[in-house]
Structure 1
Amino acid sequence: MRAAVVEGPGRLKVEQVSVPEPGAGQIRVRLEGCGVCASNLTPWEGPEWMQFPTEPGALGHEGWGVVDAIGEGVADFTLGDRVAALSFKSYGEYDISEASAAVKLPDALAGQPFPGEPLGCAMNIFRRSDVRAGQTVAIVGIGFLGAILTRLATDAGARVIAISRRPYSLDVARQFGAAATIPMDDHWAIIEEVKRLTDGGLCDRVIEAVGKQWPLDLAGELVREGGKLIVAGYHQDGPRQVNMQMWNWKGIDVINAHERDPDVAMQGIREAVDAVASGRLDPSPLYTHSYPLERLDDALNATRDRPDGFLKALVTV
């Protein structure tokens, strides 16, 4: 089979490697595609802790495809089932998944891409955010995750203020239900605009979905007293400083909404399957770019550089 190997910082090749065999409790998935996650970017840059070359297919964890081999003791899947899998070598033609880490995709999703991990992540972050009807919710950073959270919060009856760097992202936020949008360019001007939009009361919930220091600082400023700050961005480039005096004074709850319990992660993916299959959530406009496996490097670079019109890359196999 073909599988991508990262040879060094910013360098990739596609190798021919042996097709893996599922063990007890596992299934093999013939992959149709895999989403490209922004968490791949730090390893792609080659930090000191990164080891090269990667294992074939490594870094890919948003795969979906068809079950084509079943290990001993697996009773919940049959050959030909279409699934989304939470596995970790999905930048290739096949990957092995624990049967407990795969979710069947219903006929309503036939032919549709389904990167289960980020969709499930969005559902779990939304649940942790405790958004309720009538609240004002600021979402700082409108990428794939921020756009989905905008739709979920709007559908829950909240008023969403979307804050993002790119005009394109703000257009997407409006399409996904944002009541107001603010360019993310001037720290104090953003705060004043949010105060204006909320009659000085600020926001019941603020979801930071960027993973950088400034958006986290900004998010803390936008939460009202007694509100909740939800950290949804993936902060992987070093320590952060926070204005603890302000956080203390406001008495806010700060929620790190990244789930590490596999059972909770799978719950989110199942909820995402139900939401998309029922038509309550349509992520298809967010899949803006598609690349063959041999161009995974281009997909990673586009995820880093975010050219105009880019939101989410998929690698197809």
Structure 2
Amino acid sequence: MNSELVDLPELTETKVGTMRAAVIAAPQTVEITDVTLPEPGPTQVRIKMEGCGLCASNIPVWQGREWFSYPIAAGNPGHEGWGIVDAIGEEVTSVQVGERVAAITYNAYAQYDVAEADSLIKLPESLAGVPFPGEPLGCAINIFKRSDIKAGHTVAILGIGFLGALLVQLAKQAGAKVIALSQRDFSLTIAEECGADELIKLDDHWQIIEKVKNLTNGKFCERVIECTGKEWPLNLSGELTAERGKLIIAGFHQDGMRSINVQLWNWRGLDVINAHERDPKIYLEGMQEAVEAVEAGRINPQPLYTHTFALENIEEAFQMLQDRPDGFMKALITF
């Protein structure tokens, strides 16, 4: 073999009984290190990770806040993982070694993570080789179900990231007219490809209200889903919701208190729904339905996975998640 013509990847040796994991050692500083390989408890399974999605909820711990203690636990806050079961606890009978799963775990920025056997779903052969960050896909399904969208509704979706784009697809499948609102031109293009009927730039508050008013003959929208997690779009969402309509809070509001126009919400008689789930059983139901939705073509997340990084490059991935440059929608760490 002519070695001059072969570009071999750099190999990182891992000691027996250890695994490679990302550790946020300090704000905006990630170290890749060897840590002890976790062993599953009696009711747990160990998963050899194939990949893990990056979630916007990771941004505060990456940026740094006074309430976080560093270093963060190895693999944390990765929670969008999928992979192959490689070890099971003595009481586990529901899953076998070698089965491919998506799971609710919390330290998935690592080669392995453990999960309770009742906190995972099996992935069918039809999805073999396909990335499946089950937690955010299940989250989209659960938010859609809480939104109670019917055929003929006009639905405004504010914030077209990964979640917003999936909700555009689901709302269109339900027979709704979809108005997509986003700051980024790239995101509006994605929304259009996902089936949105109308595209509006998130820029001028009052102009947006007038545009939506004109598009709905002055009635506004039966359903409005706020996906940004920011104060201004949350207040704008109230303005865009029709009388007796439903305002669904899907954005993760994690950076402090909110001032909102409760008078408007009262006057219009809005139902305001916080669509974040905390019951693991509901999470799993959403994840299982997401499998079925992908198989049936109700959602197609594949074009939304825009960037893939090796674990060694996770610091770059976090920076991109924070900056959200043109072309960025969803990043995956793959192993």
Q: So what's the TM-score if we normalise by structure 1?
A: 0.99
Partner of 2:283: 265
Partner of 1:219: 237
Tell me, which stretches of 5 or more residues in structure 1 are unaligned? none
Q: Supply the distance in 2 between the matched residues of 1:32 and 1:151 (Cα, whole angstroms).
A: 26
Partner of 2:55: 37
Q: What SS does the corresponding residue of 2:156 show, helix, strand or coil? A: strand
Matched to 2:57, the amino acid is S
Matched, 1:7 2:25: yes
Of 79, 91, 95, the residue aligned with 2:113 is 95
Q: Supply the distance in 2 between the matched residues of 1:28 and 1:138 (Cα, whole angstroms).
A: 41
Q: Supply the distance in 2 between the matched residues of 1:279 and 1:228 (Cα, whole angstroms).
A: 27
Alignment of 1:1-317 (within 5 A): 1-317=19-335
Q: Report which stretch shifted further, 214-223 or 278-287.
A: 278-287
Q: Supply the distance in 2 between the matched residues of 1:205 and 1:171 (Cα, whole angstroms).
A: 22
Q: Supply the distance in 2 between the matched residues of 1:276 and 1:181 (Cα, whole angstroms).
A: 25
Larger Rg over CA atoms: 2
Q: Supply the distance in 2 between the matched residues of 1:24 and 1:214 (Cα, whole angstroms).
A: 48
User: 1:278: how far off?
Assistant: 2.6
Q: Supply the distance in 2 between the matched residues of 1:136 and 1:176 (Cα, whole angstroms).
A: 16
Tell me, which stretches of 5 or more residues in structure 2 are unaligned? 1-18
Deviations 1:114-135 (A, max 9, x none): 0000000000000000000000
Partner of 2:10: none
Q: What SS does the corresponding residue of 1:17 show, helix, strand or coil? A: strand
Matched to 2:333, the amino acid is V
* Structure 2 contact 44–92 (Cα < 8 Å) conserved: yes
CA RMSD of superposed structures (Å):
0.6
User: 1:277: how far off?
Assistant: 2.1
Q: Supply the distance in 1 between the matched residues of 2:167 and 2:297 (Cα, whole angstroms).
A: 16
Deviations 1:239-268 (A, max 9, x none): 111101111100000000000001001100
Q: Supply the distance in 1 between the matched residues of 2:325 and 2:262 (Cα, whole angstroms).
A: 35
Q: Supply the distance in 1 between the matched residues of 2:47 and 2:296 (Cα, whole angstroms).
A: 25
User: 1:72: how far off?
Assistant: 1.5
* Structure 1 contact 106–277 (Cα < 8 Å) conserved: no
Q: Supply the distance in 2 between the matched residues of 1:199 and 1:280 (Cα, whole angstroms).
A: 30
Matched to 2:161, the amino acid is G
Matched to 1:124, the amino acid is N
Deviations 1:141-181 (A, max 9, x none): 00000000000000000000000001110011011110001
Deviations 1:44-67 (A, max 9, x none): 111010110011101000000000
Deviations 1:251-298 (A, max 9, x none): 000000000001001100000011112333210000000000011111
Q: Supply the distance in 2 between the matched residues of 1:274 and 1:163 (Cα, whole angstroms).
A: 28
User: 1:300: how far off?
Assistant: 1.0
Q: Supply the distance in 2 between the matched residues of 1:83 and 1:265 (Cα, whole angstroms).
A: 14
Q: Supply the distance in 2 between the matched residues of 1:277 and 1:92 (Cα, whole angstroms).
A: 28
* Structure 1 contact 131–153 (Cα < 8 Å) conserved: yes
Q: Supply the distance in 1 between the matched residues of 2:104 and 2:290 (Cα, whole angstroms).
A: 13
Q: Supply the distance in 1 between the matched residues of 2:296 and 2:44 (Cα, whole angstroms).
A: 29
Q: Supply the distance in 2 between the matched residues of 1:186 and 1:289 (Cα, whole angstroms).
A: 31
Deviations 1:167-223 (A, max 9, x none): 110011011110001011111111110011001110000000000101101101100
* Structure 1 contact 119–272 (Cα < 8 Å) conserved: yes
User: 1:22: how far off?
Assistant: 0.3
Q: Supply the distance in 2 between the matched residues of 1:307 and 1:44 (Cα, whole angstroms).
A: 17
Q: What SS does the corresponding residue of 2:210 show, helix, strand or coil? A: helix
Q: Supply the distance in 1 between the matched residues of 2:21 and 2:120 (Cα, whole angstroms).
A: 20
Q: Supply the distance in 2 between the matched residues of 1:279 and 1:142 (Cα, whole angstroms).
A: 20
* Structure 2 contact 144–170 (Cα < 8 Å) conserved: yes
* Structure 2 contact 169–298 (Cα < 8 Å) conserved: no
